[in-house]
Amino acid sequence: MKTFKDALQRLRHLLPGERLLIDPAHLAAYESDGLTAFAVTPRAVVIAETSQEIIETVRICHDTGIPFVARGSGTSLSGGSLPHSDGIIIALNRMDRILEIDPRQRIAVVQPGTINLAVSVAARSHGLQFAPDPSSGQVCTIGGNIAFNAGGAHCLKYGMTSNHVLGIKAVTAEGTVIELGNRSTESTGPDLTGIFCGSEGLFGIALEITLRLVPKPECFHTVFASYDSLQKAGDAVSQIIASRMLPGALEIMDKLAIEAAEAAVGAGYPRDSEAVLIVELEGTSAQVEHDRNRLSGLLDDSGADVIHVAGDDLERERIWKGRKSAFSAVGRLSPDFIVQDGVVPRRLLGKALRKIQEIARQHKVRVANVFHAGDGNLHPLIMYDGRVEGALEQGEACAAQIVQMCTDMGGSITGEHGVGMEKRAFLGNMYSEDDINLMHRVRRGFDPKEIANRGKMFPSGEAPSLSLYGLHPLEKKGIISRE
């Protein structure tokens, strides 16, 4: 039987020593992703620089049965790029080339380690942009965006990553190179590109991605309105959507998130407000001018305490910097926090927010709320101090109850962060046993040995290294066992 020792010997022939990491000090940098409460040390890290190195590494893993995890910048908030204790990490950061920008076809062809924002920067001179804009856009990679079908603040108007991926060249977990989709916006047959988007690394690794670019808006109208209650902010969202207006973005931050953002970047939000609603209109000058008058009337009638319109591009950027820094800014209020990612129907936003406040009081934790109000995607940030015994478990219990609330309301356990390790126990809340078995069958069509990102997404059947929310005993930092 072939072992990790055999795999390591073959990897040493494939890669120079400085790009095959096995020293514990080097491996420590890869033990966690954005879900920092948990850590697993991989057996080795391969730093790939070419598609062929990725392909050969995957083939070695398949031949020896060694699990692997593809990793970009490690910004996953669901433990999606957490290592497997018996496996290797395939690091894709150096696979960051933009291979082509075609302004006539409005496409970009990129490698998986390409930074999200870099695509829009490269397309800017052609009047184009890559629409998905997650808050971590300055550091997260296109490969990770595809794995978890990322969205961002402007997903209300533009949709998710899957709406902007035309084709994928990938290597399956068996080591077979496949081509999914093409450069056209029209295709026939099964949507295999759509299947790959959101598969959380369970099928293999994307090598080249063909992205759809969209025209940059001619102008923007960015405004924030502050309220003395979350309920009023949520009601304002409902009124805007009911008006059939389609803003580029609708975002809400609560008092704790405002406090954190103001301390971090000074975005100009009123510190005494219970909630701030950010609305951005975009498009042609005529369209924006028409909609801004309607928006002004809606906000005037919504009970807002303060309505402030960005006067120039710098002020607009400051408003958005406050919103997009909210996750990291909460670190100023708490040494540790869990970011949740549930979805509720828009009409139930107010009820969901009241319920989150009740759950937080019940578990005696503080929760800051930041969310994509336009599509009901909640991002409660559950704060705790990991140095206090039992605090993490208390935070997890709060998070679990919020996830349960989302499905009870007819929503989803995740909007864009994925299931990963974090929410596997709740997959059965949304899908029947037959549904989950079908997902297993599709996964095994790409990966019969289940070596690609083993232990993620599914509630059982893959001998996971760890889990959250009581599915298996917790294994915390420093006490992970390789037995």
Residue 328 has pLDDT above 50, yes or no: yes
- Is there a domain that residue 116 lies in? yes
pLDDT of 422 over the 60 cut: yes
CATH number at residue 36: 3.30.43.10
Dist CA 81 CA 71 (whole Å): 6
Please report the pLDDT score of residue 460 as a whole number: 66
Which CA distances in Å does 147 have to 71, 78, 141, 373, 417? 10, 12, 10, 23, 10
* Nearest partner of 331 among 253, 252, 251, 259, judged by Cα: 259
Alpha-carbon span 173 to 90, nearest angstrom = 12
pLDDT tens digits, 234-275? 889 989 998 999 999 999 999 999 999 998 889 899 999 999
Identify whether residues 341 and 405 lie together within a single domain. Answer: yes
Q: pLDDT averaged over the chain?
A: 91
Residue 301 CB neighbours (<10 A):
10
The answer to whether position 357 is within a domain reads yes
Residue 177: the pLDDT is 97
User: pLDDT at position 430, please?
Assistant: 93
What pLDDT, on the 0 to 100 scale, is given for residue 472? 33
Q: Are residues 317 and 353 in the same domain?
A: no
pLDDT in tens, 153-163: 999 999 999 99
Per-residue pLDDT at 459: 85
Q: Can you tell me which residue has the tokens 């002004």?
A: 296
Residue 480 has pLDDT above 70, yes or no: no
Range scoring the smallest mean pLDDT among 84-98, 105-119, 350-364: 350-364
Q: With 80 as the cut, is the pLDDT of residue 211 above it?
A: yes
Same domain, 424 and 324: no
Please tell me whether residues 320 and 403 are part of one structural domain. Answer: no
Supply the pLDDT for residue 477. Answer: 36
Percentage above 70 pLDDT, the chain: 95
- Total residue length of the chain: 483
Ranges 34-38, 52-56, 470-474: which has the least confidence:
470-474
Q: How many structural domains does the chain have? A: 4
pLDDT(281) > 60: yes
* CA dihedral sign, ordered 470, 471, 472, 474: negative
Of 160, 182, 215, which one is at a domain's C-terminal end? 215
Q: Is the predicted pLDDT of residue 93 greater than 80, yes or no? A: yes
Q: Is the pLDDT of residue 476 over 50?
A: no
Residue 258: its pLDDT value, please? 95
| 32 and 120 assigned to the same domain | no
347 and 438 co-located in one domain: yes
Judged against a pLDDT cut of 90, whether residue 444 lies above it is answered with: yes
Q: Decide: 451 and 444 in contact? Cβ < 8 Å.
A: no
Taking only the tens place, the pLDDT of each residue in 115-166 is 999 999 999 999 999 999 998 999 999 999 999 999 999 999 999 999 999 9
Q: The domain containing residue 364 runs over which residues? A: 334-446
pLDDT of 190 strictly over 80: yes
Identify whether residues 109 and 210 lie together within a single domain.
yes
In DSSP terms, 382 is beta-bridged to: 338, 367
Phi, psi of 231 (to 5 degrees): -60, -45
> What are 247's two structure tokens?
């803003």
**8 token code pair:** 């390591």
pLDDT of residue 461: 46
Q: Final residue of a domain: which of 215, 243, 260?
A: 215
Residue 10 lies in a domain: yes
CATH number of 117's domain: 3.30.465.10
pLDDT of res. 5:
92
pLDDT at 47 over 50: yes
- Is residue 439 located within the same domain as residue 338? yes
Amino acid letter, 371: F
Residues 339 and 397 in one domain: yes
Considering the domain architecture, whether residues 357 and 274 belong to the same structural domain is answered as no
For residue 86, how far is the Cα from the chain centroid? 25
Both 226 and 320 in a single domain?
yes
| Residue 473 pLDDT class (50, 70, 90 cuts) | very low
Strand 377-384 with 366-372, pairing: antiparallel
Q: Does 355 have pLDDT greater than 50?
A: yes
Question: In Å, what is the CA distance from 269 to each residue of 134, 170, 226, 309, 383?
Answer: 21, 44, 8, 12, 22
User: Residues 293-327: pLDDT tens digits?
Assistant: 999 999 999 999 999 999 999 999 999 999 998 88
Name the percent of the chain lying above pLDDT 90: 81
Query: 103 and 73 in one domain?
Result: no
**pLDDT in the model for residue 478:** 32
